[in-house]
Structure 1
Amino acid sequence: MSTLLVLGALALVARTGCTDNGLNPSGVSDLDYTDVELGLTPRGPRFDVAHSKNVTALVGKTAQLNCRVHDLGNRTVSWIRHRDIHLLTSGRMTYTSDQRFISVHNPHTEDWILKIRFPQRRDSGVYECQVGTTPPIGHRMYLSVVEPVTTILGGPELFINTGSTINLTCVVQHSPEPPPAIRWTHKEEEINYDSPRGGVSVITEKGETTTSHLLVQKARMADSGRYTCAPANANPISVQVHVLSGEHPAAMQHGGQLRIQYPISAAMLSIIVTLMGCYYKQDIRNIL
């Protein structure tokens, strides 16, 4: 009877592949699936840093810091400003008297957005998106609020000889992205590059520093007036152009463009040179 029980037990082992040495019938060790993650994502909230990046914004134009949190569950997302360790928002509630700060969340997404209306340069700094776990976890981002600077080289006044080429160079710096368009105007009217006058063109080079060149060939008196460079994402800047019919006695010429430089100092220098010449002549006479 005992022999039959042993044979039955061995048969059961053979059918189930269970052996006391941890090997299956083929001789390969069985896996303990309770210790294998099988590609499952980790449990608990985690930040998607690829969609939670630093932001550069323009002064006065709404800035948005995005925080994407996977597997948030029923936990709360808060925004904290590191400059003064101030709780700005928690969930969709705002906890600051500065009403420029707003928490935005669409229930169908994993994005929690801190929106800052009318940002100023003082708003630049570190902001933390924090999840209310135990202990809390957070992801920090840097907001840089910049104010683009627009300049026209050689301004605010330019003096041009008749028949020369007017070359106005507008430079846009400190812009988070190149301006999508730069508008040039003359006497408050947008310049038409296809006008019957002809000889008017613009060349724009975009990059970290964007440069736009307005070229007006064979300048004439009618080309005098106020020219304005107006980038789409920066403040406009103007220059007054004077087209001269003849030589300007107190001007310096640079490639057809004339600029008055320190007229009072030049006059004083002329007087001093004249007086020195007079004294020099008097000294010569005394010697003779």
Structure 2
Amino acid sequence: MTFKMNSLQWFIRRMLLFFLVAGWTSCQDEQTTPTFSVPFGGDVNLTCNVQENEGHWVRWDREDNGYIIAIEAHVIVEDPRISVDLVDNTTWVLRIRGVQAGDQGPYRCTVNTTPIATQRIFLEVLEVPEAPNIVVSPGNVTVRERSTITLTCYADGHPKPTVTWTREGDQPIHQWINHTLPFSIGKQSKYDGELENIDSRWESHSLTSYEGETLRLTRISRRDAGSYTCTANNSVEPVDRETIVVEVVYPPSLISVSGPKKARVGEDVTFLCKAKDSNPAAEISWMIEGKPRHAVIATVRKSSTTGYNTLSKLSFTVPTVTSGVMMLTCVAVNREIGTKEVDTYILHIMEADKTIIKDTDVRHPNDVSRGRQMVPAMIGADINPKRGRENSVYPPRRKDPPQARGAYYNMLAFLRFFGLLMHFH
């Protein structure tokens, strides 16, 4: 019973003290407020010296928001990191373990003396962790092949985040290193169809990832197009990441014309022009003998690995030309970068075939009477038998042997006799 009464008295005493202390008004001391600096996650002990501790009460609170932390050794806030101890009957110690960023601020120790005594302490938390925050520059970008671009990923946070670059689909990042030669050789070489001095030597390296805020891409080619992602990590959640899409524009790698090499006047012909691997898709136009010629609307197809393939068809009827040849020109233009590729094609033109008269039979008068086979005549040919055989379309007469001519006339007589018998019958 005594234990229960003592516990009840202690509780009533603390509640009265709580309401009493809560209504106190603090006095502003003229002394300078000391500052305790502690690293994030460390432990700190805030001390309050009370010269006349007997019969007086001590309260800890936050001066910036008025929250009461503890009254004497009784902790009011529900925070297992905080405890209050009395040392040597004169010093009250507020202990905070595992200091967090929110623990930073002004603390106040108040003693209900007359007048009220107040001691202020400022707690500074050092090296407060901060999750990464990324700002990329530039955004999505379009560059020309063989150019150079710098991708930058600014990352804030504490501790300082580590920035790592990767490509979509685990594609490699191509880095070129330029080694300048100790002497000039004064020569040039071709790279992707363009001339460059070779007084320096370039080496290409493929990386699965690149660490650093700045990623520099030199001698960009179409294989470098795609998404580049920078990730900032400092072990403070959440991890931040941003993506930059790099599009590479380039002219066609190949343009070619295909079709017949020879054709006759009046014949219908068709030619195809293909512009391969261009980004964006190339626009194709035709010229015949230097004059623009309308073509069928081009067909564009996207390659899975390279750029666009454009196919254009041109059809026409072969006209008469004096030179015997016709030059066709196919022009593929990439308007995004203002470049064009040209391919020419030579068509050899032959004279038209002689038109055969199929519905008109022309016979030599002597051949008709002698039962010879009909011989078709050609337009513009000499069919007058009186002019001689050298200009006639008829073949020369055969000089059959006597036996063959006799058999021929015997057969003819038999057929005529047979026809008479059928007539009288």
Q: Normalized against structure 2, the TM-score is what?
A: 0.31
Q: Which one scores higher on RCO, CA 8 angstroms, separation ≥ 6?
A: 1
Greater Rg, structure 1 or structure 2? 2
